[in-house]
Structure 1
Amino acid sequence: VAAPAGSRPVVLDPNTAHPVLHLSEDLTSVRGGERQKLPDNPERISSLCCSVLGSEGFNSGTHSWDVEVGDNTHWILGVLEESVQRKRDIRSGSWSICFSDGEYSAQLGVLEESVQRKSNIQSGLWSIWFIGGKYSKLQRIRVNLDWNRGKLSFSDPDTDTHIHTFTHTFTHNMFPIIHTGDKVKVLPLKVSVTVGRSS
Structure 2
Amino acid sequence: MSTTARAVICLTLCLAACQVRGFYVPQEMNRTIQKLLRHYEISDEMRFNGNPVFSRTPLSGKIETKKLFLGAVLETYEKLLEHMIKQRPTPSPQTTGGKVLPNANNAIGAETGSKEDVRGKLNYILNKVQDLRRMRYQQQHELLKSLQTLKHIKMDSLEVQSKALWELSWLYEEASDLSTNAIEQRRRRRQARKTRPRLTGRKQTNNKTG
TM-score scaled to structure 2, two decimals?
A: 0.18
- Relative contact order, higher structure (CA 8 A, sep 6+): 1
| Structure whose residues are more often helix by fraction | 2
> Who wins on radius of gyration, i.e. which is larger?
2
Q: Which has the higher strand share?
A: 1
